[in-house]
């Protein structure tokens, strides 16, 4: 077992975190959040998604948010693009990376992007090709890899099927996602091992929602495989509008606290990250979900 000495955290708070908020969040707040995240040292930030505003109204200001960001060198800004229409709208905003999102479950694919798995791959194919023509890297997300709110159990074979299909159309990176947070460590390993059969270690990541409190344990289990890229969401924001009851991603602060304890480098400043968590939580009128953020904020208040 060789733990990675460095880990990349992909901050998905502005997108996965905020997409599910019922109340509109002003574009200026979203932009400010991205600025605070990059100031804290995050080098990969998922900013927004170019999806139908009828499906996800919170992301309707995608172009405005992308235009408002004062970009930092060395930071990669990504956006979700489920189809050509989404990519064509995103291109003028010059994303560094795009994300196509499929699912290991037919039922979730239908509910989330209104088509089955095979058809989703056919929709992604020209998206991947056009992104590559523009020199843009493509990440693929495999949702419901550890369980589905509609289908229930999802097997590792079902995960590998989608991984193979994504690889076949040229997707550069494979993210295995536990959309509803039901996965446990050995199952997480089994799913990521299937991705590792088709993608190199550097191009496989884990995306764990923390609905059942398993996300940190799942990340630890994936570190045991050598996986060194994980999505996380500041303040533990988020959920998927098409996976009712699913809570946010694992909080970036909690992952960072664990990685620091393990002596793993991330380049992220925990205090500045907690400031970002407080900023967005105040803007939303609630406390962070992150245990670490709350503990550190309580410690600050007591000092």
Residues that bind ligand HMG (CB under 6 A): 16, 19, 49-52, 55-56, 80, 82-83, 85-86, 89, 101, 112-114, 141, 143, 177, 179, 207, 209, 240-242
Q: How far is the CB of 88 from ligand HMG (least distance, A)?
A: 8
Report the C-alpha gap between 119 and 48 in whole angstroms. 24
Residue found under tokens 């499906």: 55
Any contact of residue 210 with Mg ion (CB under 5 A)?
no
Strand, coil or helix: what is 173? strand
Cα–Cα separations (whole angstroms), residue 269 to 42, 43, 257 = 9, 12, 10
**In terms of CB distance, is 145 or 274 closer to ligand HMG?**
145
> Which of Mg ion, ligand HMG, none does residue 56 bind to, with CB < 5 to 8 Å depending on kind?
ligand HMG
> Which of ligand HMG, Mg ion, none does residue 78 bind to, with CB < 5 to 8 Å depending on kind?
none
Look at the chain and count its residues: 303
Q: How far is the CB of 1 from Mg ion (least distance, A)?
A: 28
**In terms of CB distance, is 18 or 128 closer to Mg ion?**
18
H/E element, 13: none
* Angle between helix 252-261 and helix 291-302 axes, rounded to 10 deg: 80
Exposed e or buried b per residue across 246-261, where buried means at least 16 C-beta atoms within 10 angstroms of its C-beta: bbbbbbbbbbbbbbee
- The 5-34 site mask, x for binding Mg ion (CB under 5 A), equals -----------x------------------
Q: How far is the CB of 72 from ligand HMG (least distance, A)?
A: 24
> Which of ligand HMG, Mg ion, none does residue 13 bind to, with CB < 5 to 8 Å depending on kind?
none
**In terms of CB distance, is 139 or 278 closer to ligand HMG?**
139
CB atoms under 10 Å from CB of 215, counted, come to 28
Report the C-alpha gap between 285 and 266 in whole angstroms. 29
Q: And the tokens for 223?
A: 């570190």
Q: Are 7 and 43 in contact (CB under 8 A)?
A: no
**In terms of CB distance, is 90 or 180 closer to Mg ion?**
180
Q: How far is the CB of 58 from Mg ion (least distance, A)?
A: 14
Is 115 among the catalytic positions?
no
Q: How far is the CB of 276 from ligand HMG (least distance, A)?
A: 20
Among residues 93, 144, 222, 240, the one annotated as catalytic is 240
Measured from each CB, the residue nearest to Mg ion is 16
Residues 6+ apart with CB under 8 A from 22: none
Q: And the tokens for 91?
A: 């291109």
**In terms of CB distance, is 16 or 210 closer to Mg ion?**
16
Q: Which residues contribute to the site for Mg ion (CB under 5 A)?
A: 16
Q: Which residues are catalytic?
A: 240
């Amino acid at each position: 077992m060789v733990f990675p000495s460095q880990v990349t955290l992909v901050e998905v708070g502005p997108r996965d975190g905020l997409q599910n908020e019922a109340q509109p969040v002003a574009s200026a707040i979203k932009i400010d959040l991205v600025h605070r995240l990059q100031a804290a040292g995050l080098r990969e930030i998922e900013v927004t998604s170019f999806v139908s505003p009828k499906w996800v109204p919170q992301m309707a200001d995608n172009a405005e948010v992308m235009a408002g960001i004062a970009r930092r060198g060395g930071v990669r800004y990504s956006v979700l693009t489920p189809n050509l229409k989404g990519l064509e709208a995103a291109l003028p905003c010059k994303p560094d990376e795009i994300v196509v999102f499929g699912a290991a479950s037919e039922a979730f694919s239908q509910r989330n992007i209104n088509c089955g798995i095979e058809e989703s791959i056919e929709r992604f194919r020209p998206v991947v090709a056009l992104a590559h023509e523009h020199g843009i890297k493509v990440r693929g997300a495999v949702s419901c890899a550890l369980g589905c709110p509609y289908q229930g159990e999802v097997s590792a074979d079902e995960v590998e099927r989608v991984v193979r299909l994504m690889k076949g159309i040229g997707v550069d990176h494979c993210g295995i996602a536990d959309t509803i947070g039901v996965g446990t460590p050995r199952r997480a390993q089994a799913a990521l091992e299937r991705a590792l059969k088709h993608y190199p270690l550097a191009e496989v990541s884990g995306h764990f929602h923390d609905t059942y409190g398993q996300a940190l344990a799942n990340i630890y289990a994936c570190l045991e495989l050598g996986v060194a890229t994980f999505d996380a969401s500041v303040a533990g924001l988020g959920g998927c509008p098409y996976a009712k009851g699913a809570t946010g991603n694992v909080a970036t602060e909690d992952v960072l606290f664990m990685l620091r304890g393990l002596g793993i480098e991330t380049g992220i400043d925990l205090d500045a990250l907690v400031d970002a968590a407080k900023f967005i939580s105040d803007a939303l009128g609630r406390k962070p979900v992150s245990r670490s953020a709350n503990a550190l904020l309580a410690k600050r208040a007591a000092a």
